[in-house]
Amino acid sequence: MRKTSRKPRVVWFPPTNANSISPGGGVPGTNGYQVFTVNAGGGAPGDFGVAEIPLVIDGQSDPLDAAGVNTLSDIENSGYRLRRIVGKIWVGATQRANDGPSNAVVTAGIIVRRTNEITGVSLAFETTVPELLSPGEIRNYGDPWVWRRSWLLFNAQNQSTQFPFNSLTNEFFSAVDGPHVDQKTARIVSSEERLFLTVSATALNVDQDPQDTMEIQCVTDLRVLGSMRTSSGNRRNASR
C-alpha cells in the first residue's frame, strides 16, 4: 500500500511590537517594523556592543488584541516548529565627522534561546555578560544559529577610514550579502524557549576620542512561518 505524506499545516506568526515604531512616541506601535540601536567601540579595537530583541509573540501578548491574552502560549503553550524566516534586516552606521571608530563589523544572528518564563527575556541576556550573547564572539561560533550574517560598515565622515566599504547593508547588492533573509529550517521551539535576533557591533579601530562609539541603527521587517504543536503532557515535562 502506497503511503502519502501530508504537508505540515503552517501559519505566519504575528510579530511582536516590543521594539516597533510608535507613531506618536511613548507607547509601542502596532506595526511589524522593529527599530533598535547597538554601539561599537568604547576604548580599543575589538570592543563591541550587543543588542537582542524577540521576533514573534511567543512570550508576549498580541499587540492587536485589546484583552492582551492572545499569545502563542495561550493557544498552544508556545510549542511550535519553526519552518521559515523571510524579510529584511537593514543596518546602517551613523555618519559623524571624527567621531568614534571609522570601521565596525556588524553581525546579526537569529537563534532560539531559553527564557525567563515571567519576563520573556532570554536567560543569556539576564546574565548581563555580553560575551554570552554576541554572535561575533568565538565562544558562540558553535551555537545553533538559525541564520547568521556579517557586514563591514564604515563612517565616511571619518578621514582615517581603513576599510572604505559600505555604510548601509542595502549597499551590498547580493541576496547572500545584503539585508535579505530567507532561511528554511525545522527547529522546534518549546514552551520555555523563544526566537530572538541578536546583533553585535565590533570596532576595528579607534579614532579621536577612544571613548566615542560608532552608533549602528538597525531596522527589521521579518516574517516567521511555523507549525503549531501542542506541548501538553509529561513527555518533555518530567523533571524540574
Q: CB 204: neighbour CB atoms within 10 A?
A: 19
For residue 197, which of 125, 137, 93, 129 has the smallest C-alpha distance? 125
Q: Is it the case that residue 69 has pLDDT exceeding 60? A: no
Q: Is it the case that residue 158 has pLDDT exceeding 90? A: no
Give me the residue spans of the domains in the chain.
Answer: 11-16+33-60+72-228
Total-model pTM: 0.84
Residues 196 and 147 sit within 8 Å (Cβ to Cβ): no
Q: Is it the case that residue 195 has pLDDT exceeding 90? A: yes
Residue 111, pLDDT score: 96
3-state secondary structure of 31: coil
Q: Is it the case that residue 78 has pLDDT exceeding 70? A: no
Q: Is it the case that residue 110 has pLDDT exceeding 90? A: yes
